[in-house]
Amino acid sequence: MDHNKLALPVGTTLDRFIMRKQEDFPYATGELSQLLRDIALAAKIVNREINRSGLIDIAGAYGNRNVQGEDQQKLDVIANIRFIRALRNGGEVCTIISEEDADIIQTGNNQGKYVVAIDPLDGSSNIDVNVSIGTIFSIYRRISPTGREGSSADCLQPGTHQVAAGYVIYGSSTMLVYTTGNGVNGFTYEPSLGEFFLSHPDIQTPKTGKVYSINEGSAESFSPGVAAFVQHCKSEKFSARYIGSLVADFHRNLLKGGIYIYPATAKDPSGKLRLMYECNPLAFIVEQAGGKSSNGQLRTLEIEPKTCHERCPVFIGSKELVEQAEAFLAQEKEAAEATATA
C-alpha cells in the first residue's frame, strides 16, 4: 500500500506561503507578512461569528447608522472591532480607514510602517438571509516619517501605491484571496484545522466572459452609454448575475469571467462603492489577475483620492468586457459633445 495515499498531504498553509514569498525579497523585514497574518487571524474570528450568527443574537441591525448613512448591522460592528483590534495588536499599522468609522483611526503604533483601508464586512445587509458576504482590504506604505501618528496624506494615496490588497469571502466555503503585486493567490479555510490552505494558486481571470452584473433596478437612471452596454450584453445573450454582495459578485466573475458594474445613478450620482476600501483593492487584484478596472474613463488605480470615504463608479472584470463598456461610454461622451457644439 502506498503510504502517501493513506495520509494525503494537507497542502500549503497561508502562513507558510506568506513566509516563502517573503524569502523572495532578501531585504524584507517580515512586517508586511506579519500584517497579512494579522488580517487572516481576524478573518478566522469573523468567520466564526458569521457562522454562528443565526444561533446567537448577533444577526440583524445594530440600531445605528455609519458614516455613509447606512444602517449598521451588529456583525458590521463586530467585524470592525475584530479587524481593528488585530491590526492594533499586530503593531505594523499606524493608521486605518474603515467603512464603519467617519474619521481615520490611529492605532497608537507610531512606528508602524503601514496604513490599511478596510471594509470589514461588505454586503452585510445579506447576513440575515445567508448570502455570501466579504471583507475587503488594501495596504499602503506610509509616506510620512515613522515615530508619529499617520497623516491623512498617508491614507489618501492612489491605488497604484498599494503594496497589498485582498478580500475574504464568507461563502459556501470561506476563502482569502490576496495579492502583493506579484500575482493573485486564493486560500480556502479548513475549519477543523483552523487554517487557510492554498487552493487557487496564481489566479488568472478569463480575458472575456458572458456574465454581466449590475443592479438593473436602477436602469432608468443609467446614462445612455451604460444603458447601451447593458443592451449589448443582452443582445449577445449574456447571463445576468447580481447577488448584491460585491465580494461574491466579484469573486465569481474573477474565476469565471464577466463584468461587474456599479455606475453613477440618480440615487448615487458618484456610484455607490467606495474608492479606498472597495474599488481600489479589487482593482489591484483584478489587474494582477489579467483583468481591468475603471470608472468608465480612468483606470481606477490612478484616481487621485480626495477623501477617505469617496465613491466612484466602477466597471471591473474581464479586460475585453471592461474595454467594451468604456467604448460605449466614449460614444456617449462624443454624442454629448456633438450635441453641445451643434
Contacting positions for ligand AHM (CB under 6 A): 70, 99, 119, 122-124, 215, 244-246, 249, 272
Give start and end residues of each alpha helix (H) in the chain.
3-6, 14-23, 31-51, 74-90, 152-155, 224-235, 246-256, 280-288, 319-341
22 vs 318 by CB, closer to ligand AHM: 318
What, of ligand AHM, Mg ion, none, does residue 245 touch, CB below 5 to 8 Å by kind? ligand AHM
Query: Could you tell me how many residues of this chain bind Mg ion (CB under 5 A)?
Result: 2
What, of ligand AHM, Mg ion, none, does residue 244 touch, CB below 5 to 8 Å by kind? ligand AHM
When asked if residue 38 is in the footprint of Mg ion (CB under 5 A), the reply is no
Min dist. Cβ of residue 195 to ligand AHM (A): 27
HEC per residue, 50-100? HHCCCCCCCCCEEEEECCCCCEEEHHHHHHHHHHHHHHHHHCCEEEEEECC
102 vs 330 by CB, closer to ligand AHM: 102
Q: Are 179 and 165 in contact (CB under 8 A)?
A: yes
Q: Are 114 and 97 in contact (CB under 8 A)?
A: no
Q: Are 86 and 116 in contact (CB under 8 A)?
A: no
Min dist. Cβ of residue 299 to Mg ion (A): 21
DSSP state of 223: -
Min dist. Cβ of residue 281 to Mg ion (A): 11
245 vs 318 by CB, closer to ligand AHM: 245
Q: Are 200 and 185 in contact (CB under 8 A)?
A: yes
Min dist. Cβ of residue 76 to Mg ion (A): 9
Min dist. Cβ of residue 250 to ligand AHM (A): 8
How far apart, in whole angstroms, are the C-alpha atoms of residue 74 and residue 30?
Answer: 34
What, of Mg ion, ligand AHM, none, does residue 124 touch, CB below 5 to 8 Å by kind? ligand AHM
When asked if residue 154 is in the footprint of Mg ion (CB under 5 A), the reply is no
User: Nearest 5°: phi and psi at 164?
Assistant: -160, 155
When asked if residue 326 is in the footprint of Mg ion (CB under 5 A), the reply is no
What, of ligand AHM, Mg ion, none, does residue 101 touch, CB below 5 to 8 Å by kind? none
107 vs 135 by CB, closer to ligand AHM: 135
255 Cβ contact list (under 8 Å, min separation 6):
200, 203, 205
38 vs 119 by CB, closer to Mg ion: 119
How far apart, in whole angstroms, are the C-alpha atoms of residue 94 and residue 110?
Answer: 5
Residue pointed to by grid coordinates 479587524: 83
When asked if residue 122 is in the footprint of Mg ion (CB under 5 A), the reply is yes
Q: SS3 of 128, please?
A: helix
18 vs 84 by CB, closer to ligand AHM: 84
When asked if residue 195 is in the footprint of Mg ion (CB under 5 A), the reply is no
Angle of helix 246-256 relative to helix 280-288, nearest 10 degrees, comes to: 10
134 vs 258 by CB, closer to Mg ion: 134
When asked if residue 119 is in the footprint of Mg ion (CB under 5 A), the reply is yes
Binding residues for Mg ion (CB under 5 A): 119, 122
